[in-house]
Amino acid sequence: MDLSVGVFTLGCRVNQYESLCLEDSFRALGFRVLPWSAGTKFDIGVVNSCSVTAEAEMKTRRAIKAFVKANPSVYIAVCGCYAQTSPEQLKRFPNVKWIAGNDDKLSLPQTVARTLGKIPRIDCEKIKKSVPKRVDGVSVASQFEHNATRLSDRANLKIQDGCDMACSYCIIPRARGLPRSRDFGDIIEEARALAGRGVAEIVIAGINLSKYSRPDAGILDVIDAVNDIPLVKRVRLGSVEPINLPVEELALRMNDPAHKLCRHLHLPMQSGSEAVLKRMRRPYSAREYFGLLRRIAELCPDVGLGSDVICGHHGEGDEEFAETFENIKSSPLAHLHVFTFSERERTLSGKNTAGFVPHAERKRRSDILREFARLRHSEFIKSRVGRCLEVLLENRLPSGHYLGFTSEYIKVSVPIETPGLKNFTAKVRILGDDGNGRARAEFLGLL
């Protein structure tokens, strides 16, 4: 079989993880997997979709159109959350020949290989009803070691799927199902395989990481077991809900120079207003959330704290937005990801539009917070000026500058004359903000 495949990924770290699984599966079946880029010619295009916002769904549709524009005769497979929640919308594209919800996503390569000459009928109702009942059994690495490609930098390691929080605005529980946790031994086997393929930083990922629980392990056990793998240089936690978070234990590890856990936590907030949090059905108050941030900063002063916030949810008046803004400004947050609220069908917020916020006002508030986020991140960088930090080197630009991240999740640009240092750890001195959201740094040597 001499057919090429390109995989385009939207959305969260779990989607990124599952795309790597898909690529490995396609290779094992004899397909040529090519990096996705505009204008690249493929025989099969795979779009791993997201439905967390209306914009994410729009990006999925754009990706399909881009595939078709570059490859008019291409066959397209769409999988993931948008395929799970709205398959009938994807069926409208004539080049889309396969649609796989999340339960069928990782068997998609086998389906494509089996039916290339016999395009299957798209059964939208069956896809809608196929809510995931288990965590995937496909390994990103160990199952395909005989055909595994070399990796580098960081890779996501999915340990959990699903969510049962039922936040009023969120469609993800419909797309991903209830929480399920992967077998602890399988996780560690996969982490070892990833390290053997060249991965230096493993990012522990899940749809709701705080829900990870097995009879023989919890999230701290996973962190420590990955930490003990010799080839792993760093362990990083993906986005984790601020519910029942073992902050003392995490801080203990982040403060320990011998432990590989990065000094970085991303804790979704969604709103800093007490009233809006109640409307969102978030299981904490603004006082509890910002108190948690301050407690973490006290326990680990060097931590880089990040969060998500949604602007313009139904019922968010000027006073509620001002409350959110003031709470964020007085917090130790260094990274802020701002979303503009969009109604999702089949969610409580999609049905109850009381307190509707005009779209132009949603955008205005989002722009205000994004500008503040830019300034706050610049302040965070400047607070590190003169300090010597470790950076995992990634791509080298034509200018001779390497890009990479510190433990605190500061993106760094550092000039180094020597090529071929991708995936090495360097010691650098932070010099300042380069104006593009990155830190300028001086190279001090390899570690």
Residue 43, SS3? coil
Tokens coding 280:
């969102």
pLDDT given at position 343: 92
Looking at CATH, the fold of the domain delimited by 388-446 is given as OB fold (Dihydrolipoamide Acetyltransferase, E2P) (2.40.50)
What pairing do the DSSP bridges indicate for beta strands 439-446 and 425-433?
Answer: antiparallel
**DSSP state letters, 378-440:** HHHHHTTTT-EEEEEEEEEPTTSEEEEEETT--EEEEE-S-S--TT-EEEEEEEEE-SSS-EE
In tens, the pLDDT along 202-240 reads 999 999 999 999 999 999 999 999 999 999 999 999 999
Q: How far is CA 269 from CA 324, 372, 444, in A?
A: 10, 16, 37
Q: Which CATH number fits domain 135-241: 3.40.720.10, 3.30.750.210, 3.30.70.20, 1.10.357.10?
A: 3.30.750.210
3-class secondary structure per residue, 177-192:
CCCEECCHHHHHHHHH
pLDDT per residue as tens digits for the range 377-416: 999 999 999 999 999 999 999 999 999 999 999 999 999 9
400 vs 92: CA distance, rounded Å = 46
Mean pLDDT of 293-305: 98
- pLDDT at residue 61, as a whole number: 95
User: Phi first, then psi: what are they for 411, rounded to 5°?
Assistant: -80, 130
Beta bridge partners of 45: 6, 76
Distance, in Å, from the CA atom of 267 to the CA atom of 243, rounded to the nearest integer, reads: 9
- 268-280+288-381 CATH, one of 1.10.3720.10, 3.30.750.200, 3.40.50.300, 3.20.20.140: 3.30.750.200
* Element of type H or E holding 203: strand 201-206
Give CATH superfamily name and number for 4-129.
Methylthiotransferase, N-terminal domain (3.40.50.12160)
Closest CA to 276 of 239, 241, 318, 331: 318
Domain pair 135-241 / 268-280+288-381, same fold: yes
Taking alpha carbons only, the member of 277, 84, 35, 74 closest to residue 165 is 277
Q: Cα(119)–Cα(128) distance, rounded to whole angstroms?
A: 20
The 3-state secondary structure of 351-372, one letter per residue:
HCCCCCCCHHHHHHHHHHHHHH
Q: What is the β-pairing status of strands 425-433 and 388-396?
A: antiparallel
Residue 133, pLDDT above cutoff 60: no
pLDDT band at 349 (very low <50, low <70, confident <90, very high): very high
Residue 282, pLDDT above cutoff 60: yes
Residue ranges covered by each domain of the chain: 4-129, 135-241, 268-280+288-381, 388-446
| pTM for the model | 0.93
Which pLDDT belongs to residue 134?
45
